Amino acid sequence: MSSNTKVSTFFVSEKISKVRWLPDYLKESDGFLSGSWDMPKSFVRMWRLQKNMMDTYSDYVPKCTGKYLVGGDVTGMEMAEDTVIVSCSDGKLTLFKIKRGVEEDTLQQIAQSGLLHNINGNSAPCTAISVCGKEVASVGEDGRLNIVDSGSSLTVRRSSVADSCSLLCVLYSNPQEVLTANRMGVIRIFDVRSPMEATAAFMTSCEDDNRSNYVSSLAAHPTQSHIVLAGTEEGSITVWDLRQPGNPASYLSAHNSPITEIRFHRSDLILFTAAECGELWQWAQLPNIVDSEKLDKMNPWLSGERTKSRIAVSCLITGLRKSINTLDSQNSKTICGGDTEALHLVETIP
């Protein structure tokens, strides 16, 4: 663990598949959402960090202020202004309204989509979602890509069979383009304007050229969305410049197990990766090249073999022995959760 961080663990008695901070534009948010999986019943829960009066080590303790029963394992959770869109293994999306209160927050279901993903008429899991403006893209085990109105009706605007095998990830790189990744490690770029057609396709890199390496998570650079990073089955990170997607710009060995989520800090150029082996890593861009006038040429993620010399990598959590499935980071706090049936709060100490 890095010397300037503090990790607090809170047991919640359910496996966590997704966590997301609630938006708060005036101050550091003290509220977040979690979604569960692999339990008899799955819930979306609202939490608020409260000052801890009992334990001198942990400054905060999360209090559950509300919960909502959903129809299957939570597979995706993304914010859209004052609402949150949740995808589940039952092949549907649910739209919730977030109501912030002085002491407690509440969650109200506004709408639920019809069955978006099915195989031979039977429901198939929705595996991932991505939100851009008023639209949400969903992919599933049926290989279908849906573009859904993220308003109060969750109406399907466009739909296409995007692949012949299960899709695991989806990402808006810009309002017109969506990336999908399948179980064989093939990434496709789709123009989501009607008709939806794949404009490019490319494979993830792998240490062993004789095997596939599926993509487990996708993330776009926060200030240069044409730079896309993929976390993979073998635990590596592959980076592409979508202006020239034919060959990867960088390939980085990282964890020794599949990466479960790869996500940038909400307001900084810091990347976080979580892995099945119970690790959480931080990848911080070194300050001497930030704000360079030639940022494209100097961006460390496009530097090939030199990338790791331009990125400071810190291990924030290790040795949990069970998967960390999800993370989200804002200001000085990072929240993560997984199969330990616990939430972990990582605080950066000034």
For residue 81, the number of C-alpha atoms closer than 13 Å in the C-beta half-sphere is 7
> Taking Cα atoms as reference points, which of 125, 168, 178, 169 lies closest to residue 147?
178
Does the reported pTM lie above 0.85? yes
> Taking Cα atoms as reference points, which of 338, 286, 341 lies closest to residue 317?
338
Beta partners for residue 96, in sequence order = 84, 109
- Decide: 298 and 335 in contact? Cβ < 8 Å: no
Strand pairing class (60-70; 42-51): antiparallel
Q: Is 122 left (phi over 0), alpha (psi -120 to 50) or beta?
A: beta
By the 10 Å C-beta count (0-12 exposed, 13-18 middle, 19+ buried), 129 is classed as: buried
Domain that holds residue 186: 5-348
- Residue 75: CATH number of its domain: 2.130.10.10
| Paired tokens of 147 | 């573009």
pLDDT confidence of residue 106? 84
pLDDT confidence of residue 296? 47
SS3 89: coil
- Decide: 188 and 173 in contact? Cβ < 8 Å: no
| Paired tokens of 261 | 């989520």
> Taking Cα atoms as reference points, which of 346, 236, 337 lies closest to residue 17?
337
| Paired tokens of 238 | 């592959």
Domain count along the chain: 1
- What phi and psi, each to the nearest 5 degrees, are found at residue 302? -105, 15
Beta partners for residue 217, in sequence order = 231
Give pLDDT tens digits along the chain (350 positions): 555 889 999 999 999 999 999 987 667 888 999 999 999 999 999 999 988 877 667 788 999 998 999 999 999 999 988 899 999 999 999 999 998 777 777 889 999 999 999 999 899 999 999 999 999 999 999 999 999 998 878 999 999 999 989 999 999 999 999 999 999 999 999 998 867 889 999 988 887 776 778 999 999 999 999 999 999 999 999 999 999 888 899 999 999 999 999 999 987 789 999 999 999 999 998 876 544 445 445 688 988 878 878 899 999 999 999 999 999 999 899 999 999 999 999 998 76
Q: Which residues contact 120 (CB under 8 A, 6 or more apart)?
A: none
pLDDT confidence of residue 86? 98
Integer Cα distance of 12 and 32 in angstroms: 14
For residue 247, the number of C-alpha atoms closer than 13 Å in the C-beta half-sphere is 2
- Decide: 189 and 173 in contact? Cβ < 8 Å: yes
